Copies of this chain bind each other. A is one copy, B any other.
Amino acid sequence: MTEPASPRAALEAFADLDHERTRRRGYPEAIYCPGKTPEQLGMIAAAVRDQPHVTLFTRANKDHAAAILAELPEAFHDQEADLLAWPAKPPEATGGMVVVLAAGTSDLPVAKEAQLTACYLGRPTELVVDVGVAGLHRVLSRLDLLQQARVVVVAAGMDGALPSVVAGLVAAPVVAVPTSVGYGAAFDGLAALLTMLNACAPGVAVVNIDNGYGAGHLAAQIATP
């Protein structure tokens, strides 16, 4: 129970970074910030500074971000998506196009987390906002873009109906990410989650509520060159 003596030992007291992951899986590890202290994140940031591959820090609150930026002041930081990336420059885009839709303005943080993740994993991306099913003309007016996608990511809360509609319009798989946006019986995203799992059009891949990172990662794998 004495204090560890070196930075490396201090880091190993709470984390065992998986630098081999890029080699093994082809995609780098991301650091999920909630439940970690700013001090722990600062140590992790220092440890990845010289890694050759991209490191993403997801769901970083203000204190998390400050601790990371203290070690990596040049890191990319998107405050809407609560995401940081190091190094800041994404890899050159290869593979198929990832089109990300946000059903409403409130779904934008999750949608951006998905888009940025796919971008930092090396895919070309497009982001389209405010295309909810209450105004079908909005989504129909984007049909050309949608049909060019290798994969479409749809972030939607409330009724979560957009993935069903989109999947009925395109040949590409749809990654559906429910968001916790909505009134009472939205139950923090449960309603949208169930809608998406029950999409009447096949081809809908569901990820966890508000999990923009997971959606973007899955999309990048699907659209791999």
Contacts and interface: CB of A to CB of B under 8 A. Distances in A.
Contacts of A211: 183-184
A181 B35 contact: yes
Interface in A78-107: 103-107
Interface residues of A, number: 89
A38 interface: no
A221 B171 CA distance: 7
Contact of A205 (B35, B165, B194, B205): B205
A218 B104 CA distance: 21
Given A105-B15, A159-B164, A221-B171, A208 B197 contact: yes
A183 B171 contact: no
Contacts of A129: 12-16
A214 interface: yes
A36 interface: yes
Interface in A196-225: 196-211, 213-214, 217-218, 221-222, 224
Nearest to A178: B184
Contacts of A184: 178, 180, 188-190, 193, 208-211
Contact of A186 (B169, B178, B198, B203): B198
